[in-house]
Amino acid sequence: MTDKVLFITDAYKDLNTKKDTSILMMEEAISLGFNTFQCEINDLYVDEGIVYSTSREILSAGSTQIEGISKQEIRLSDFKFSFMRKDPPVNENYINALHLLGLAEKQGAAVFNKPTAIKEFNEKIFALHFKEFIPKTIVTSDINKIENFFELHKTIIIKPIDGMGGASIYKIDELNEENKDLLMKMTNSQRTHIICQEFIEDIYDGDFRILIIHGKPFQKTLARIPQGNSFKGNLAAGGRGEARDISDYQKMIGEKVGEFLIEKHINFAGIDVIGKHLTEINITSPTCAREIFDQTGLNPIAEYFKGL
């Protein structure tokens, strides 16, 4: 009997068939002969203590013609692998799904990345475990602390702890009333922590996505280069992606982070490096594999499946 694999994602119709790494993963799984299924987090459920998914088989990844395919009720433990690829925010519904996936693991399911690791490590905070590589950073809800930090660095970046794709990231180079109002809004009137970091001029040379596959940095990176007057390199924020060879320094950071990831049973991640600085470690649904593959012919996802 052919092995089955499951991809837990956002709504299939909302995935970008030309860019989404989850679609590339499905294509690779199909090419390897797996029966490939997809569901959303609300399709997970427990009946008599057993975790199931209401999922549909994907016969040809990238096709949007899936509405007529009937759904099936399948135990998570019946899949050879289940891949948690739901985009952030890691909100209450996301956490509830991770609880169910943790239960499924107890019943024999193989879930990647490990649900307990996703619960333990916030993607924005995760990089702070490697303080030797991060830019000057504070995490606080205190406006006075943020203003003091600004006075030290003159230009800073502020971002929410639960953001993604460059959303709600702001550059502050003046503490005028507008920016003070922004700080109050971002901190929910000093009740919600945000991340403040020194601005790194190297961003204009690219925000490098380095894929960490089974603890090893992939040989090609994607430099996400801001366009126009923007300081954001994120592709979702309009940045241009350019595949490049990994540098020795980036490889060194990737290997150090990779060792820690393997200890935590995280076998597929994406780290972001600007200049000499590590800024994020993405473990929920790392992207950029498609762009690297399209530009170089080297497939990070094929490398990933080889190691499973």
**CATH number for the domain harbouring residue 172:** 3.30.1490.20
Residue 49 belongs to some domain of the structure:
yes
Same structural domain, 206 and 194: no
Contact by Cβ (8 Å): 168, 186: yes
Domain encompassing residue 258? 123-129+202-306
Q: What percent of the chain clears pLDDT 70, i.e. is strictly above it?
A: 93
Same structural domain, 40 and 106: yes
CATH number of the domain residue 231 falls in: 3.30.470.20
Quick check: 300 pLDDT over 70?
yes
Quick check: 251 pLDDT over 60?
yes
Quick check: 196 pLDDT over 80?
yes
Among 199, 221, 249, identify where a domain stops: 199
Among 152, 180, 199, identify where a domain stops: 199
Same structural domain, 95 and 83: yes
Q: Which of 21-35, 175-189, 220-234, 262-276 has the lowest mean pLDDT?
A: 220-234
Q: What is the pLDDT of residue 233?
A: 61
Q: What domain count does the chain have?
A: 3
Residue 38 belongs to some domain of the structure:
yes
Same structural domain, 170 and 241: no
Mean of per-residue pLDDT scores for the chain: 93
Residue 148 belongs to some domain of the structure:
yes
Quick check: 295 pLDDT over 60?
yes
Same structural domain, 89 and 105: yes
Preceding peptide of 89 cis, ω within 30°: yes
Same structural domain, 105 and 190: no
Convert the pLDDT of each residue in 136-175 to its tens digit.
Answer: 999 999 999 999 999 999 999 999 998 765 568 899 999 9
Same structural domain, 8 and 75: yes
* Mean pLDDT to the nearest integer, 252-279: 97
Convert the pLDDT of each residue in 60-116 to its tens digit.
Answer: 766 554 544 678 999 999 999 999 999 988 999 999 999 999 999 999 999 999 999
Same structural domain, 40 and 79: yes
Same structural domain, 297 and 211: yes
Same structural domain, 217 and 187: no
- The pTM of the full predicted model, rounded to 2 decimals, is 0.93
Q: How confident is the model at residue 16 (pLDDT cuts 50, 70, 90)?
A: confident
Quick check: 238 pLDDT over 80?
no
Q: How would you write the chain as a 3-class SS string?
A: CCCEEEEECCCHHHCCCCCCHHHHHHHHHHHCCCEEEEECHHHEEEECCEEEEEEEECCCCCCCCCCCCCEEEEEHHHCCEEEECCCCCCCHHHHHHHHHHHHHHHCCCCEECCHHHHHHCCHHHHHHHCCCCCCCEEEECCHHHHHHHHHHHCCEEEEECCCCCCCCCEEECCCCHHHHHHHHHHCCCCCCCEEEEECCHHHHHCEEEEEEECCEECCEEEEEECCCCCCCCCHHHCCEEEEEECCHHHHHHHHHHHHHHHHCCCCEEEEEEECCEEEEEECCCCCCHHHHHHHHCCCHHHHHHHCC
CATH number of the domain residue 26 falls in: 3.40.50.20
With 0-12 / 13-18 / 19 or more C-beta atoms within 10 angstroms meaning exposed / middle / buried, residue 208 is buried
Same structural domain, 187 and 226: no
Residue 118 belongs to some domain of the structure:
no
Convert the pLDDT of each residue in 274-293 to its tens digit.
Answer: 999 999 999 999 999 999 99
Same structural domain, 262 and 162: no
Quick check: 257 pLDDT over 70?
yes
Among 178, 199, 220, identify where a domain stops: 199
